[in-house]
Amino acid sequence: MSERKVLNKYFPPDFDPSLIPRRRQPKNSQQVVRLMAPFSMRCNTCGEYIYKGKKFNARKETVEGEDYYDIKIFRFYIKCTLCSAEITFKTDPKNTDYAAEHGASRNFEPWRDEKSVEEEDRLAKLEEEENNPMKALENRTVDSKREMDILDALQDIRARNARNERVGQSVDLLDRLGMEEIETEEDRERKLAEEEDEKLVREVFAKVPAAEASSSNGAGSSGGASSEAVVTVKRKAGTQEPDLQSLLPDSARALLSAKSSIGAPPLKRKKLEGKNALGIKLKGKAKAKAVV
């Protein structure tokens, strides 16, 4: 299968381009081109409106005997979309535009009339100033006064904008400082509250050691082995620390009084090891622990 887009053509060895006859065409032949309507127009035959940018298959030719500084002028032939009447327009290099020629009239464009009116007024003003020097002086005075008024108004606008900008910056700065102050106060209050809570917890909660009986008395330890228990005691803050014996439960106090009456050897206290700032932990010989 051959390629769709072929860049190189095959030329046989005996090819001679001079033997190809030249195609003879008329001097001003027309070409078919694809274009869009350069302006909005209305058909003179049926009154159909053709908007700017409508696409047409047009015929193009060079206008004979017309040019603008050796720039060729081209004429285009199109057909009305409704009645198929022929419409022609040509290029206008002088005004860098297109001009309607036959079959349609260009729609009214107010800005073009404004430009033409302004140009006519300017030419009339120049002509009047040439003939009347006092009128020229008066016109220059009026123009200078108008320029001064415009400059004053512009200066006022700049000053107002600068003042508004300064006010906006100051307001933003005050808001930012206020937010930072509020955040600083909130952090300070939060820190003080945390310190007070920590102090209150240290005063309210304390840990004291207590000895329990062996497994024969249902303490949950192995037979014949003493165990250790850590009792967490809650007391009110601001009061004097009570006696340790009064803080123990009734069963523990009864056990201690029974041992003291029997004359059991006192328990050997080992070296206390500080666990944390909230209490003191006492280790015994047994591994089992119970919390009362």
Token pair 């290029």 is at which residue? 91
CB < 8 Å & 24+ apart, contacts of 275-282 = 277/202, 278/201, 278/202, 278/205, 278/206, 278/207, 279/205, 279/206, 279/207, 279/208, 279/230, 279/232, 280/207, 280/208, 280/209, 281/207, 281/209, 281/230, 282/209, 282/228, 282/230
Would you say 43 is a known binding-site residue? yes
Would you say 80 is a known binding-site residue? yes
Structure tokens at 219: 């303490």
CB 207 within 8 A of CB 258: no
- Closest C-alpha among 24, 47, 52 to residue 36: 52
Structure tokens at 253: 């106090």
Q: Where are the alpha helices (DSSP H) in the chain?
A: 110-131, 133-204, 244-247, 250-262
DSSP letter at 46 equals T
Structure tokens at 127: 């002509």
Would you say 46 is a known binding-site residue? yes
Measured at the CA of 122, the angle between CA 118 and CA 127, to 5 degrees, comes to 150
Provide the annotated binding site.
Answer: 43, 46, 80, 83
Please give the annotated binding residues for Zn(2+), written as ranges: 43, 46, 80, 83
